[in-house]
Amino acid sequence: MTEALLEIKDLKTWFKTDDGMVRAVDGVSMTIARGETLAVVGESGCGKTVTARSVLKLIDMPPGRFEAGQIVWRGRDLIPLPAADMDKIRAREIAMVFQEPMTSLNPVYTVGDQIAESLRTHHGLSRKESIDGAVEMLKLVQIPNAERRVHDYPHQFSGGMRQRVVIAIALACKPQLLIADEPTTALDVTIQAQILELLGDMKAKFGMAIMLITHAMGVVAENAQRVVVMYAGKVVEEAPVEELFGNPRHPYTQGLIRSIPRVDARTRGHARLEQIPGTVPSLLNPPAGCRFANRCRFATDPCRDSEPPLRQVAPNHKVACIL
């Protein structure tokens, strides 16, 4: 692995609620190298989005707070960084694409203004220059008639086109890391294919790293080089993509991979889907020991007593399971 671009070390992002402390992210570590695509995968409430938002410090504080850990961006810890310095990193060095293209654009500004805003703030371009820049960006993300559409408002675009606009805004300042939080979840499959292809093209062009947050294993398999699997606020497994799908070690990862029906040949006929019993535990009072123990087929008493550490089982392959 080459030099780490981003290194998250034992991050704990907790939220104070009326019912108590919610340990949304509870001791998560991961690294992203220059130019690589890291997928962070897990089900709703596993902490993947909170981890991503923590990197950009987009968590409302309070109720959230960083309980412990470091977020090291190119050798500098972002957690103690003052807001003014953080503003310089956001968009210029680390940009984000959100899930909902309907809500992440401002409905009262034209898309051109929204792309241009980023160019003006971060590169100090004039109004004219920034609008020209916006047209360039729209062309880059393959929006037809970019010269004309730059003056349109978000509601005049379809979902897929809006997501292209969001990507154009994110890429306007040529960031080194793009955090894509479920970028295609709200889109139809044919549009999803278009957007994923576009992200791949953009990556090839700009050479940025991508942190791809998703719950869809198919999207992971086709787009990532390395994968981090999260469950209930913890990393349970980390491996290169071929290794993770070929030789999943954690019972949760195994269940996740086997529980998906597939359109290709393997699950033909009415073979039953493998299911993971039960539901994700509450993060308010997470169970002691392994958080997956109460749904795990292999769990034994030691699993319920102490938390399994993330240990190396093969080169670049780490798993948090004592079995």
Partner 1 sequence: MNTQTAPLLSARGLTKHFAIKGGIFAREVHRIHAVDGVSFDIAAGETLGLVGESGCGKSTTGRCILRLIEPSSGEVWFQGRDVTKLDADALRGLRRDMQIIFQDPFASLNPRHTVGGIIGEALIIHGLSRTRAELDDRVVQLLETVGLQPDHRHRFPHEFSGGQRQRIGIARALAVEPKLIICDEPVSALDVSIQAQVINLLEDLQEKFGLTYLFIAHDLSVVEHISDRVAVMYLGRVVEIAPSRELYDNPRHPYTEALLSAVPIPDPLVKRKRIVLQGDVPNPIRPPTGCRFHTRCPIAEARCSQEVPELEQSSDGHWVACHLRR
Instruction: Using the minimum distance from each CB to partner 1, give the nearer residue, 97 or 196.
Output: 196
Q: Is the peptide bond before 62 cis (omega within 30 degrees of 0)?
A: yes
Instruction: Using the minimum distance from each CB to partner 1, give the nearer residue, 109 or 245.
Output: 245
Cα gap 220→263, rounded to integer Å: 16
Q: Is residue 128 helix, strand or coil? A: helix
Task: Give the pair of three-digit tokens for residue 21.
Answer: 């402390």
Cα gap 228→252, rounded to integer Å: 12
216 contacts 224 by C-beta, under 8 angstroms: no
Binding to partner 1, residues 177-196 (CB under 8 A): 188-194, 196
Q: Return the residue of 147, 197, 201, 305 that touches partner 1, per CB under 8 A.
A: 197
Q: Return the residue of 218, 302, 305, 311 that touches partner 1, per CB under 8 A.
A: 218
Per-residue contact string for residues 22-61; x = within reach of partner 1 by CB under 8 A: ---------------------xx-----------------
Q: Return the residue of 161, 165, 232, 299 that touches partner 1, per CB under 8 A.
A: 161
| DSSP class per residue in 50-85 | HHHHHHTT-S-TTTEEEEEEEEEETTEESTT--HHH
Q: Return the residue of 155, 263, 297, 315 that touches partner 1, per CB under 8 A.
A: 263
User: Helix 159-171 to helix 111-123 angle, to the nearest 10 degrees?
Assistant: 10
Judged by CB under 8 A, the stretch of 26-34, 49-57, 133-141, 156-164 that binds partner 1 is 156-164
State the minimum distance, in angstroms, from the CB of residue 312 to partner 1: 21
Q: Sign of dihedral through CA atoms 7, 12, 16, 22?
A: positive
Per CB under 8 A, 256 contacts partner 1: yes
Cα gap 66→200, rounded to integer Å: 33
The CA–CA distances, whole Å, from 265 to 214, 245, 262 equal 24, 16, 8
Per-residue contact string for residues 279-308; x = within reach of partner 1 by CB under 8 A: xx----------------------------
Binding to partner 1, residues 62-121 (CB under 8 A): none
Instruction: Using the minimum distance from each CB to partner 1, give the nearer residue, 77 or 298.
Output: 298
Instruction: Using the minimum distance from each CB to partner 1, give the nearer residue, 158 or 285.
Output: 158
Antiparallel, parallel or unpaired: β 234-240 and 311-314: unpaired
Instruction: Using the minimum distance from each CB to partner 1, give the nearer residue, 108 or 263.
Output: 263
DSSP letter assigned to residue 251: H
Cα gap 14→65, rounded to integer Å: 6
Q: Return the residue of 103, 274, 284, 300 that touches partner 1, per CB under 8 A.
A: 274
Q: Return the residue of 18, 19, 264, 301 that touches partner 1, per CB under 8 A.
A: 264
320 contacts 27 by C-beta, under 8 angstroms: no
Three-point CA angle 195, 199, 200, nearest 5°: 115
Cα gap 242→227, rounded to integer Å: 10
Per CB under 8 A, 152 contacts partner 1: no
Per CB under 8 A, 275 contacts partner 1: yes
Q: Return the residue of 102, 125, 173, 216 that touches partner 1, per CB under 8 A.
A: 216
Judged by CB under 8 A, the stretch of 50-58, 175-183, 214-222, 315-323 that binds partner 1 is 214-222
Cα gap 19→162, rounded to integer Å: 38
Binding-site ranges for partner 1 (CB under 8 A) = 43-44, 158, 160-161, 188-194, 196-197, 215-222, 241-242, 245-246, 255-257, 259-264, 267-268, 270, 272-277, 279-280
